[in-house]
């Protein structure tokens, strides 16, 4: 028996890792599969011209989103602030596939009634807040939200995602500094996927490890394999526990890779082919499927049942969303400005009486 096989046997004998039940291990698989399949359906709709605006894939980053969000305690009222690629995180928090289909197709039935697109919507009841497009800005916002948890004496935790590019903004620095100095219950997930648009990590920052930036704020910095869902979950779980215990912020770097362009329109001409091929071989879903099988955590039948359920759910959601109407033009301003205006805008100058 090889050393690797022996290690696998030992782990199997000691039961599932990270305190997860067999049901939860299958749950992680199901969220990753749903994320991948939902995005594949969206690509089909995009090619038919039914998606408005860009389509931002998380291909190869499903373990990063799903594993990290899964470490939060939804029942405790934990809150998450996603980025455009964190479809998997939102599904874990309870967002439904049809909501994304409606958002991407700008349907009148979408959570934002067709006024915003893609993942730009929030629901405080389900613990996720709508993102601001400006990179890094969700860090100070989440510092503020977790400060309120502290002030009210609530044992809730916040999680915020930043990309390698977003970490170069002033907003990231200000938010990190505030959250770190107040020891706020916040987990900052640094998604190192190698690129910000076409800018490589090497051109983005002089540090080799994004986790090293934690030192400048006096907080723990951890690094995990972002394509290994259980490694992501374990590291995120530790960070969430630290935050809930009053030990403050953790900066958790997840090393992964953006396998598609910035969005579907981007042909990735700047990406070396061998680099892409290397990361394709490190696919997070393939890796987890192999683990589930080798370690006896889920049978092939159990996985097929999940795949079939996901396919059925998506068939129904796509069929429903496709025939739904766009918003009525006459309602374009509803919910955008208060109606009637609550008060005269400060910038509005009445013409002097004639
Ligand atoms: C302050 C700011 N500058 C520029 C942009 C335009 N922009 C949107 S996404 C993006 C790249 C983001 O890269 P990264 O943070 O690494 O996230 P990733 O796309 O890799 O998930 C840029 C430059 C923006 N939204 N906000
Ligand atoms: Mg990036």
Residues 218, 251, 281, 303: is their CA dihedral positive or negative? Answer: positive
Pair of tokens at residue 74 = 């939804």
pLDDT for residue 340 = 65
Q: Is pLDDT of 213 > 80?
A: yes
Q: How far is the C-alpha of 84 from the C-alpha of 86, rounded, in Å?
A: 6
Contact 325, 107 (CB under 8 A): yes
Question: How many angstroms does the Cα of residue 139 sit away from the middle of ligand 1?
Answer: 14
Q: What is the pLDDT of residue 83?
A: 97
pLDDT bucket at 346, cuts 50 / 70 / 90: low
* Binding site membership of 85 for ligand 1 (Cβ less than 6 Å): yes
Instruction: Tell me which ligand sits closest to the C-alpha of residue 162.
Output: 1
Which residues, in sequence order, are bridge partners of residue 160?
Answer: 81, 188
Q: How far apart are CA 138 and CA 160, in angstroms?
A: 7
Give the ligand 1 atom nearest the CA of 137. 1
Tell me the helices (H) and strands (E) count for the chain, helix number first: 12, 7
| Ligand 1 center to 193 CA (angstroms) | 12
pLDDT score at 343: 66
pLDDT higher than threshold 80 for residue 226: yes
Identify the band that residue 310 occupies on the pLDDT scale cut at 50, 70 and 90: very high
Residue 37 predicted with pLDDT over 50: yes
Is 169 a pocket residue for ligand 1 (Cβ < 6 Å)? yes
- ∠ CA 137-261-97 to the nearest 5 degrees? 70
Instruction: Give the nearest ligand 1 atom to 83 CA.
Output: 21
- What DSSP assignment string belongs to 75-118? TTT-EEE--TT-HHHHHHTT--HHHHHHHHTT-TTSTTTTSS-T
State residue 111 phi and psi, 5-degree precision: -55, -30
Closest ligand 1 atom, residue 135 Cα: 26
- Residues 104-138: tens digit of each pLDDT: 999 999 999 999 999 999 999 999 999 989 999 99
Residue 341: the pLDDT is: 65
Ligand 1 contact via 134 beta carbon (within 6 Å): yes
Evaluate: CB of 196 within 6 angstroms of ligand 1.
yes
Whether the CB of 64 sits within 6 Å of ligand 1? no
Burial 201-220 (b: 16+ CB within 10 A, else e): beebbeeeebbebbeebebb
Q: How much of the chain, in percent, has pLDDT values that exceed 90? A: 86
State the pLDDT at residue 216: 97
pLDDT score of 4 more than 70: no
CB of 270 within 6 A of ligand 1: the answer is no
Pocket of ligand 1 contains residue 60 by CB under 6 Å = no
Cα of 169 vs centre of ligand 1, distance in Å, is 10
Distance 21 CA to ligand 2 centre (A): 32
Distance 7 CA to ligand 2 centre (A): 34
The length of the chain is 354
pTM assigned to the model? 0.92
> pLDDT for 13-36, tens place per residue?
455 677 899 999 999 999 999 999
Nearest ligand 1 atom to the CA of 169 is: 1
**pLDDT, tens digit, for every residue of 237-270?**
999 999 999 999 999 999 999 999 999 999 999 9
CA distances 229 to 172, 281, 327, Å, are 26, 16, 39
Q: What angle do CA 184, 233, 258 make, to 5 degrees?
A: 95
- What is the β-pairing status of strands 158-163 and 186-192? parallel
């Amino acid at each position: 028996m090889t050393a690797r096989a022996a290690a696998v046997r030992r782990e199997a004998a000691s039961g599932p890792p990270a305190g997860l039940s067999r049901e939860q291990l299958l749950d992680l698989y199901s969220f990753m599969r749903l994320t991948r399949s939902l995005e594949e359906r969206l690509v089909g709709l995009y090619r038919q011209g039914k998606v408005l605006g860009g389509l931002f894939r998380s291909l190869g980053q499903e373990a990063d989103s799903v594993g990290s969000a899964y470490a939060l305690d939804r029942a405790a009222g934990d809150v998450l602030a996603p980025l455009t690629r964190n479809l998997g995180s939102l599904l874990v928090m309870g967002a439904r596939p049809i909501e994304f289909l409606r958002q991407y197709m700008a349907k009148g039935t979408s959570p934002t009634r067709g006024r915003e697109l893609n993942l730009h919507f929030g629901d405080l009841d389900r613990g996720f807040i709508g993102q601001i497009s400006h990179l890094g800005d969700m860090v100070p916002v989440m510092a503020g939200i977790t400060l309120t948890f502290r002030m009210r004496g609530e044992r809730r935790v916040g999680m915020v995602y930043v990309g390698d590019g977003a970490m170069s903004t002033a907003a990231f620095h200000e938010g990190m500094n505030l959250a770190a100095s107040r020891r706020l219950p916040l987990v900052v997930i640094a998604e190192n996927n190698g690129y910000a648009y076409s800018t490589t990590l090497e051109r983005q920052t002089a540090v080799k490890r994004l986790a090293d930036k934690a030192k400048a704020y006096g907080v723990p910095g951890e690094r995990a394999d972002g394509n290994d869902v259980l490694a992501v979950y374990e590291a995120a779980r530790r960070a969430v526990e630290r935050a809930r215990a009053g030990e403050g912020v953790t900066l958790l770097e997840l090393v992964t890779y953006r396998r598609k362009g910035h969005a579907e329109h981007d042909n990735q001409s700047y990406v070396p082919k061998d680099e892409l091929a290397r990361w394709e071989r490190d696919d997070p879903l393939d890796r987890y499927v192999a683990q589930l099988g080798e370690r006896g955590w889920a049978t092939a039948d159990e996985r097929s049942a999940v795949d079939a359920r996901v396919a059925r759910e998506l068939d129904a959601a796509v069929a429903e969303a496709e025939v739904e109407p766009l918003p009525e033009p006459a309602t374009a301003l509803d919910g955008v400005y208060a109606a009637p205006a609550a008060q005269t805008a400060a910038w509005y100058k009445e013409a002097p009486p004639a």
